[in-house]
Homo-oligomer: A and B are copies of this chain.
Amino acid sequence: MKIVALVGSLRKESFNLQLANYMKERYKDSFSIEIADIKSLPYFDQDEELNPPEVVKGFKESIANADGILIVTPEYNWSVPGVLKNALDWTSRVEKVFIGKPVMVVGATPGAMGTIRAQLHLRDILSSPGIQAKLLPPGNNEVLINFAAQKFDAETGQLIDEATIKFLDEKVNNFIQFIEEVKGSSI
């Protein structure tokens, strides 16, 4: 099973990047995770959508070929980072590579509120006609990691909070089932 991860933070020691890397290692027997290089994408420009730069083509192909997408996002100003929204915008035009694609959303933050507002916006975005992702239902599957500085090891970047790891295991398991189910679905 091939998962492509979109990570919304560019900071080298980003908790969200650490989370993506942690998941890549922990769940490697279930799926591979390739972290897309979304910062190499130019800004979306409708004048270029029919024949976009090669880097955009490659990115869209990797989405198209993935069994599922993992979005790992901080919250910037009560929404998703611009770099993440920009990557999603490229996928939504001409060949709409997200349509029907299973998506799981996770987020980590040093603050108390766990990226809750970013995830609300992101769910709107993922539901729109140009994207139409199959989102793992949020009600029982939200991953909102707050107080991240206490839950990740400052030296190794590993997630070390046992309750969070157990919770994440369950939700990832739900995501794997969800991917299987979406494959068999027609709507």
Binding site for B on A (CB under 8 A): 9-12, 14, 39, 43-47, 76-89, 92, 99, 112-114, 116-117, 120-121, 123-125, 127-132, 134, 137-140, 146, 174, 177-178, 181, 185-187
Query: Are B132 and A128 within 8 A (Cβ)?
Result: no
**Of the residues B87, B92, B123, B134, contact of A127 by C-beta under 8 Å:** B123
What are 29 A-B pairs at a CB distance below 8 A? A9-B46, A12-B47, A39-B43, A43-B81, A43-B83, A43-B86, A44-B81, A76-B85, A77-B130, A77-B131, A78-B128, A82-B83, A82-B85, A85-B86, A86-B86, A113-B116, A121-B124, A123-B123, A123-B124, A123-B127, A127-B138, A128-B139, A129-B140, A132-B137, A132-B139, A134-B137, A181-B186, A181-B187, A185-B185
Distance in angstroms from A63 CB to nearest chain B CB is 14
A126 to chain B, nearest CB (A): 8
Q: Are the CB atoms of B123 and A10 closer together than 8 Å? A: no
Partner of A128, one of B43, B45, B77, B112: B77
Q: Specify the chain B residue showing the minimal Cβ separation from A84.
A: B82
Given A132-B137, A137-B134, A44 contacting B10 (CB threshold 8 A): yes
Bound CA span A24–B155, Å: 49
Contact partners of A132 in chain B: CB under 8 A: 137, 139-140
Cβ-defined contact, B76 with A82, below 8 A: no
